[in-house]
Chain A
Amino acid sequence: MKRVAKPVFFIVALLILFLTYTATFGIKGQNGDNTTTYIKGVSDIRWGIDINGGVEATFSPETNTKATKEQIDSAKSIIEVRMTSQHITDYELYTDYNNDRIIVRFPWKSEEKTFDPENAIKELSATALLTFREGGEYTTADTGSNGKPVYKTPKGITKDSIILQGKDIKSAKAEMFQDPTSGKTEYQVGLELNDSGTQKFADATERLQDKVISIWMDDVMISSPTVNQVIEDGKCSIQGNFTASEASDLANKITAGALPFKLTTTSFNTINPTLGSSSLRAMAIAGCIAFGLVCIFMLIVFRLPGFVAIIALLGQIGLSFAAVSGYFPFINSFTMTLPGIAGIILSIGMGVDANIITASRIKEELYLGKTIDGAIQKGDDNSFWAIFDGNITVIIVALILMGIFGPTNILSMIFGPSTTGSIYSFGYTLLIGIIGNFVFGVTATRLMTKSISRFKFARKKWLYGGAAE
């Protein structure tokens, strides 16, 4: 048998412990009052709304006819403005043009004291109020969840002088134009006013030459262009070094105010954060107990290979944590739900399968009279394909679960997009559990078993399940 050096056991075991420790607790530096997170641990995991509490709601425009794509897009942009201005970062927002649906899901903010999901839903779906106001004075300025500044609540002259309202606007479109001086292609928003707005805007632009006319949605300033000429025919453009998406975004928001339709809430689901946090504690307890019981079982039944299996299992759990917390820079952090945690615990149980198959084979070979080294080698050789077979079907299933309950899924084309179901993270943790089973239950376990078997104390067949000598 190919010899594995004695220190390999310690190297592998230490690497596993390092991974598990850092994946659980993260690596954080304390610099004065600031904690910098270098590596994310369990406390950095993003929890789903079934744990954090939160809201999921489906809105449909209240129109008699089918809504246009434009209408849905503008309704979406209203919700986005409201989300950003309320500092909700973790929201998911999907539009389904075929079925006239806008689906939104957001967790409850941890700093929020009162939980009033009903009002939150109502605020999101309220009819958008678009205004063009004189000047650009605001009461509060802070940073929205997208990192851009959010100016809220008009004051002074801006509060009192409303130039145009949503109904005065005919259309707003993102347009492309060639800058006459630089020759570069730029983006702007082309605005067309109704008859009701043309005269008002002509008067205002004459009065406010070189001054600001700000555009507000509800309580939030969405743009503050400066007037550089009198607009008499009700057609003008807003320029401001926009990118293509910024221009269409602003156009959508203005359109939303111009086509005011009510959003009705067709479905909703709210979960109180206190309910969720007690479930999280329960699952943590369950995980620890399950791990302990499986460890005891493995030690009693398999002795030394059982001990190795426990180290491997620790590594597998560490990998599961790492895969959801954003430990590795190349894997995004993952929204964990209760079924997701159940998936981790389930894979604690399933995860020892590889170790059980190998250890059982080693035991069999020992009873057939092989030496320890021979039995380990034979056991390893004989068990690989059984382990592979045993796992491939669960991989198929895990992929399907992720495929159907994920945000964009293989069935989206037929059934339209939906928010991430809580089962999605179950599929994910199940899949990670199986990958972990291969990495730790097969590769790491083999290295550790072969290396530890070279120590003198480990030369007894009894330790591998053989008869006592």
Chain B
Amino acid sequence: MRKYNIKFFEHRKIFFGLSLAILAIGIVFNIIFGTQLDIKFTGGAVIKYSYQGSISQQEVEEIVQNTAKKDAEVCILENAAADKNEENYVSISFSGTDSITIDEQQKIAKELTAKYPNADFQVNESNSVNPTMGRNFFAKCMTAVLLASLLLILYIAIRFKKIGGMSAGVMAVIALIHDVLMVYFTFVIFRMPLNDNFIAVVLTILGYSLNDTIIIYDRIRENRRLMSPKTPLSQLVDTSINQTFSRSINTSICTFTAIATVFVVGQIFGLTSVTSFALPMMIGVMTGCYSSICIAGPLYVMWQNHKASKRLENA
């Protein structure tokens, strides 16, 4: 049987460096691009039409501005296969956070059809959110994340009493924060606006990553009884991680494969609502596994060693 013997503690600086570097890139992107919130959270309006033939972006923009009296960003997605039967898409995002009315939407469709009689405009999807309702939904989602975090921390506090005490619990929380940041930066770097998918992914990854961490700490506790008390903590932790390594990796491979398939198929079919869910989930599954193995374990050793040396100094 293949036995892993990776020295996680010894190489901790590489892992910490890698994580910090990615986080730094994320921060830089965040400063440049800012954080986009979906109109579900801020309020606003988007209409997506399918049409045939070709239209001019500028003209559409003008029509929309003249009819709705609002600035709008028009984005045309022409099908690469220039087949006549293939449909093209145009999305109109109104600037500002105000919703539009049904009448405005109908007027725009009428004007567009008048300008391009052969284009056969069809509303594919339209979304108009009142800003008050958007803020309300945002507040609700944030409360939910807070509530879930509280419950998980409570669970960690109860669970880790047995398997390493407060310090292990704190390290588990650090690993979780690491994962949430990674998921968040995925949204920022790929310029996907934060929406309810983000909340779903963050919560799932919180649960998923915590699993891994708990299983590793559980093994540490088991090995503490089996191995001689003189074994240095770093070796104890490394052994435990290595023993659970194949399970962590195998489960992550399976989960990653499943969600990556969804992402690839979603990408081929051009389903943004699916890909904006699957991509951050893929990243989350990877970082959830990585943080449990490479961050939580070594950090715990560092903390315990630090405490031990303090004790020595005081003695």
Query: Which residues in A have some Cβ–Cβ distance to B below 8 Å?
Result: 50, 58, 99, 101, 115, 117-118, 121-122, 264-272, 274-275, 278-279, 281-283, 285-286, 289-290, 293-294, 297-298, 301, 338-339, 342, 345-346, 348-350, 352-353, 356-357, 360, 363-364, 366-367, 385-386, 389-398, 400-401, 403-405, 410-411, 414-416, 418, 421-423, 426-427, 430, 465-467
Residues on the B chain within 8 Å of A393, using CB: 152, 155, 206-208, 210-211, 214
Is B19 in contact with chain A by the CB < 8 A criterion? Answer: no
* 30 A-B pairs in the complex with CB atoms less than 8 angstroms apart: A268-B126, A269-B126, A270-B123, A282-B269, A282-B274, A286-B262, A286-B264, A289-B261, A290-B259, A293-B257, A298-B254, A339-B277, A346-B259, A348-B254, A348-B258, A353-B251, A366-B1, A386-B218, A393-B207, A393-B211, A394-B204, A396-B148, A397-B148, A400-B148, A401-B144, A404-B140, A410-B147, A414-B140, A423-B199, A430-B204
Q: Which residue in chain B gives the minimum CB-CB distance to A296?
A: B257
A117-B123, A393-B207 known; A58+B140 contact, CB < 8 A: no
Among A390, A392, A403, A465, contact of B155 (Cβ-Cβ < 8 Å): A392
Contact of A349 among B124, B199, B218, B257 (CB under 8 A): B257
Given contacts A390-B211, A396-B207, contact A118 B129 (CB under 8 A): no
Q: Which of these, B102, B128, B251, B269, contacts A352 with CB under 8 Å?
A: B251
Contact A356 B274, beta carbon cutoff 8 Å: no
A-B CB proximity, top 8 nearest: A349-B258, A349-B255, A397-B207, A286-B265, A404-B144, A282-B269, A394-B207, A290-B261
B136 and A415 within 8 A (CB): yes
Question: Which of A267, A272, A394 has the most chain B CB atoms inside 10 A of its CB?
Answer: A267
Give the residue of B109, B206, B211, B261 whose beta carbon is less than 8 angstroms from that of A286: B261
Partner of A396 from the list B139, B151, B214 (CB cut-off 8 Å) is B151
Residue of A nearest to B43 (CB): A267
Please tell me if the beta carbons of B203 and A297 are within 8 angstroms of each other in the complex: no
Interchain nearest-CB distance for A411 vs B (Å): 5
Within 8 A of A (CB), among B265-279: 265-266, 268-269, 271, 273-274, 277-278
Q: How far, in whole Å, are A340 and B152 apart by their CA atoms in the complex?
A: 23
Known: A267-B99, A272-B125, A390-B214. A118 touches B106 (CB 8 A): yes
Min CB–CB distance A340 → chain B (angstroms): 11
Contact A415 B139, CB 8 Å, known A115-B122, A283-B262: yes
What is the distance, in angstroms, from A365's C-beta to the closest C-beta of chain B?
A: 10
Q: How far is the CA of A301 from the CA of B250 in the complex (A)?
A: 9
Q: Which of A101, A265, A363, A385 contacts B1 (CB 8 A)?
A: A363
User: Does B130 reach chain A (CB closer than 8 Å)?
Assistant: yes
Instruction: Determine whether the beta carbon of A421 is less than 8 Å from that of B211.
Output: no
Tell which of B151, B200, B214 has the most Cβ of chain A within 10 Å.
B200
Q: Contact at A350–B250, with CB atoms within 8 Å?
A: no
B257 partner, pick from A118, A294, A364, A426, beta carbons under 8 A: A294
Contacts of A416 in B (CB 8 A): 136
Considering the chains assembled together, what is the distance between the CA atoms of A349 and B252 in angstroms? Answer: 8
Distance in angstroms from A366 CB to nearest chain B CB is: 8
Q: How far is the CB of B158 from chain A (nearest CB, A)?
A: 11
Q: Is B137 an interface residue (CB 8 A)?
A: yes
Interface residues of B in 94-138 (CB under 8 A from A): 99, 101-102, 105-106, 109, 122-130, 133, 136-137
Are A272 and B124 within 8 A (Cβ)? Answer: yes
Contacts A269-B127, A364-B1, A416-B136 given; does A342 touch B247 at CB 8 Å: no
User: In the bound complex, do residue A50 and residue B151 qualify as a contact, i.e. CB atoms below 8 Å apart?
Assistant: no
Could you tell me if A356 and B250 are in contact, using CB atoms closer than 8 angstroms?
yes
Residues of A within 8 A of B261 (CB): 286, 289-290, 293, 345
Of B105, B122, B251, the residue contacting A350 (CB under 8 A) is: B251
In the bound complex, residues from chain B placing their C-beta under 8 Å from that of A403 are: 144
User: Which residues does chain A contribute within 8 Å of B125, judged by CB atoms?
Assistant: 269-272, 275
CB neighbours of A342 from chain B (8 A): 259, 262, 274, 277-278, 281
Contact with A along B46-73 (1 / 0, CB 8 A): 0000100000000000000000000000
Check if B197 sits within 8 Å of A290, measured CB to CB: no
**Chain A min CB distance to B262 (Å):** 5
Known: A58-B133, A271-B125, A349-B255. Contact between A266 and B99, CB under 8 A? yes
**Interchain CA distance A115-B271 in the complex, whole Å:** 20
Known: A346-B258, A357-B251. 9 other contacts (CB 8 A): A99-B136, A267-B129, A283-B265, A297-B250, A350-B251, A366-B1, A393-B206, A400-B151, A401-B204
**Partner pick for B126 among A270, A283, A293, CB 8 A cutoff:** A270
Cβ of A307 to closest chain B Cβ, rounded Å: 15
Beta-carbon contact of A404 and B124 below 8 Å: no
CB of A52 to closest CB in B, whole Å:
13
Q: Shortest beta-carbon distance, B249 to chain A, in Å?
A: 10
Residues of B within 8 A of A121 (CB): 102
User: Bound complex: CA of A427 vs CA of B265, how far in Å?
Assistant: 22
Contact partner, A278, options B128, B136, B151, B269, Cβ 8 Å: B269
Of chain A, the residue at the smallest CB distance from B144 is A404
| Nearest A-chain residue to B139, judged by Cβ | A415
Candidates B109, B147, B250; contact of A400 at CB < 8 Å = B147
Instruction: Using CB atoms, name the residue of chain A closest to B209.
Output: A393
> Looking across the interface, which residue of chain A has its beta carbon closest to that of B147?
A400
Q: Which of B212, B262, B273 has the most CB of A within 10 A?
A: B262
A290 near B143 (CB under 8 angstroms)?
no
Nearest A-chain residue to B47, judged by Cβ: A270
- Interchain CB contact under 8 A, A294 and B254: yes
Q: B273 to A50, Cβ gap below 8 A?
A: yes
Chain B contacts for A466, CB-based, 8 A: 1
A356 CA to B247 CA, complexed, in Å: 6
Contact B262 A345 (CB under 8 A): yes
